[in-house]
Amino acid sequence: MQQRTIGPFTVPAIGLGCMNLSHAYGTPPSAEQGERVLLAALDAGVTLFDTAALYGFGANETLVGRVLKAHRSDIVLCSKGGLAGVTGDDGVTRRVIDGRPEALRRNCEDSLRRLQTDVIDVYYLHRWDKQVPIEESVGAMSRLVEQGKVRHLGLSEVSAATLRKGHAVHPITALQTEYSLWTRNPEIAVLDACRELGVTFVAFSPVARGFLCDALHDVGTLDAKDIRRSMPRFAPDHYARNLALLPGYKALAREAGCTPAQLAIAWLLHKAPHILPIPGTTSVEHLDEDLAAGDMKLDAGLLARLEEHINQRTVSGNRYSEQARREVDTEEFPGD
């Protein structure tokens, strides 16, 4: 597979997003199945693994730490803080955005313990806490670098302006945001800012939360705890309109000689050399399918038709609910 860089690290062009081994899309797979996926990724040559304190309220970091501990020197380990589970007096654990220095220190120390490592290669601010200046949060994270607990810093779901402010305090190695054919917001400004500053753009949800895998035809079958139930694009009316895009999309995949999922990932790799996709999966079969996109070649004509077919004008619905949109800092297209 072709290689990409993230800070000083050279890694295969496709990493593994570990979230859905423990979180987000309904009942997660068993720990045994999660272990199979992680080890299969290692065997296939994946070296970048991305997790977070939020995923499963620590369960994902615990899984990744247990399985990958023996391979720690061979991988680039990434995690995130500033958005984690906090257990209240009622015994219920809730997600809390907290970018205060003391919270970030605590999150990092908890992550190191769960990951069974003494240093995290890339540590992201998972969400910018808008009650705390970004300079203050990045400053606190820079002290984690000074203490040897973290090697490099990242930001997640922030705008170009916020990236620049954070980068002025301490170099930002990576910026992570949703990016796929149906979520094109990074093209407004942040992709260019990353290129200008030498920041790797890590693209999560490259297959549009499963939509571009052609795997979900009836949103009524989604698990009650599946986060897509709160996303407007997966609401029945919007999703019915979005499904109309799939026949043309699948025809382009057939023309390219690949699966729909592979086409989505290959498109990202063709967009710019500083983009590094991190698809997630609970299946070894789908993992192998995703990784095969790393060596695909797409011609300019097909890429143009692909972008014209699925983009911010043809997709129905916002990517996040109103509450979730308030929690991120990414640019939006007019009318979003």
The model scores a pTM over 0.75? yes
pLDDT of the residue at 336: 77
Please, what sign has the CA dihedral across residues 94, 154, 114, 60? Answer: positive
pLDDT tier, 233 (very low <50, low <70, confident <90, very high otherwise): very high
d(CA 172, CA 130): 19
> pLDDT tens digits for 58-103?
999 999 999 999 999 999 999 999 999 988 889 899 999 999 999 9
d(CA 16, CA 291): 9
Average pLDDT over residues 156-175: 98
Rounded to 5 degrees, φ, ψ at 133 are -55, 140
Using a pLDDT cut of 90, give the percent of the chain over it. 96
pLDDT tier, 177 (very low <50, low <70, confident <90, very high otherwise): very high
Residues in contact with 297: Cβ distance below 8 Å, sequence separation at least 6, in sequence order: none
3-state secondary structure of 141: helix
What is the total residue count of the chain?
336
Give me the residue spans of the domains in the chain: 3-209+262-296
Please, what sign has the CA dihedral across residues 132, 134, 135, 139? Answer: positive
Using a pLDDT cut of 70, give the percent of the chain over it. 100
- Tell how strand 9-12 and strand 3-6 pair up: antiparallel
Among residues 4, 47, 2, which one has the least CA distance to residue 273?
A: 4
d(CA 252, CA 259): 10
Query: What's the maximum distance between 2 C-alpha atoms anywhere in the chain?
Result: 58
Token digits of residue 287 = 């993992």
3-state secondary structure of 277: strand
Catalytic residue ranges: 55
- pLDDT of 335 above 80: no
> pLDDT tens digits for 288-307?
999 999 999 999 999 999 99
Q: Name the CATH code of domain 3-209+262-296 (choices 3.40.50.300, 1.10.8.60, 3.40.50.880, 3.20.20.100).
A: 3.20.20.100
- pLDDT of 328 above 90: yes
The one-character DSSP state at 29 is P
pLDDT of the residue at 215: 87
